[in-house]
Structure 1
Amino acid sequence: MDKSWMSYSRVSNVYRNGVESFLNLAFATSSQENMILCPCKKCVNINWHVREVVQEHLIVFGFVRGYQKWVFHREPSGRFASTSNSTYPQNFQHRSAREDDMEGMLRDAFNMLLMVLIPLK
C-alpha cells in the first residue's frame, strides 16, 4: 500500500486525500462503537475517537512518528493477507480496549513515565 502521501505537507490535497483513504480503511476494518484508535502525535494510538476527531487530529498534529505499518488499524499485509473476505485468521479475536482496560493501563504507564521525565514544579 502506497503511503508516500504521509510525507506531504498536512495542508496539501495529497495528504488530505491520503487521510481520507486511511480513515476509510480504518473504519471499515477496526472501528468499535463507531470509533478507532487515533494514530496522531497527540493520541499515539491510545485514545479512541470518532471519524471527525481523528481526521482533525491527523491534519492538525499529523501521524505519530514511525507509524508506517498500520497494525492497530488492520492493514492487510504479511501472513494475514489473503484473497478471502477475512483479513485475519478466523480464530483471531479483536478485543476492545474497554473490555480488558488495556487503554487504561497504557494511559497509567504513559502518564507515570511523563511524570518521571517532566517533574512538576
Structure 2
Amino acid sequence: MDRSWMYDEPRSSQIFVNGVKTFLNFAFERTSVNGDKIKCPCTKCLNMKYQCKQTVLDHLICSGFRPEYLKWVYHGEGTTVASASTTFNKEMHDLLNDAFEPEVEIGVEEHESASNNSQETNNRGSKFYDLVKEVEGKHSEFRNT
C-alpha cells in the first residue's frame, strides 16, 4: 500500500487528511483500548501515549507522523507476538545447529578424532537444547497468562 502521503504530502492537503482518516479507521478497528483510544503515532507522542480519535487526528495534522512509520505495527499491521516469537525460535535453533554441528574433517586419521569430538559436541548440544526447551516452555506459560 502506498503511504508516501504520510511524508510527501502537505499536512493541510486533502490527500493527507484522507490518509489520516483511513489510518484512524484501520487503527481503531484493530487496536483501540475500550474502543476510544489508540497509541498516537505523531512526532511528539511517538506511539507512547494513548489518545482519543480526535486528538490523534489533531496531532497528525499539526505535527505529522513519527519518522519512518510506514508499517503500522503498533496499530494492528505486521507481526504478531506469536509470529515474532516463532521467528525468534527458528533463528535461535538455526544458530544452535550451526554452533553444535560437527566439522567434517578429511583423512582417515582425523575420522576417529572427529567421531569423538562429534559425540562430545552432541552431548553438549543436547543439554543446551534441553535448557532451550525449558525456557521456551516457561516463555509460553508467561505469554498465556
TM-score range, shorter chain: 0.5 to 0.7
Please state how far the C-alpha of 1:32 moved relative to its aligned partner.
Answer: 0.5
CA apart distance, 1:5: 1.3
Distance 1:43 1:55 in 2: 12
Name the SS for the 1:68 alignment partner: coil
Mapped to 2, the partners of 1:41 and 1:4 lie a distance apart of 17
User: Sequence identity of aligned pairs in percent?
Assistant: 44
What does residue 89 of structure 2 align with? none
Instruction: Map residues 26-105 of structure 1 onto 2, 5 A cutoff.
Output: 26-33=27-34, 34-75=36-77, 77=78
For residues 30 and 8 of structure 1, the distance between their equivalents in structure 2, rounded to whole angstroms, comes to 26
> Relative contact order (alpha carbons < 8 A, sep ≥ 6): 1 or 2 greater?
1
**Distance (whole Å) between structure 1 residues aligned to residue 22 and residue 5 of structure 2:** 10
Q: Counterpart of 1:40 in 2: which secondary structure?
A: coil
Tell me the SS of whatever aligns to 1:17: helix
The alignment of Structure 1 onto Structure 2 pairs a total of residues equal to 80
Residues in 1 aligned to 2:22 and 2:2: alpha-carbon distance in whole angstroms: 11
Q: TM-score, normalised by structure 1?
A: 0.62
* Larger helix proportion of the pair: 2
SS in 2 for 1:2: coil
Pair member with larger Rg: 2
- Give structure 2 stretches of 5+ with no counterpart: 84-145
Please give the TM-score of this superposition, normalised by the length of structure 2. Answer: 0.52
Shift of 1:69: 0.9
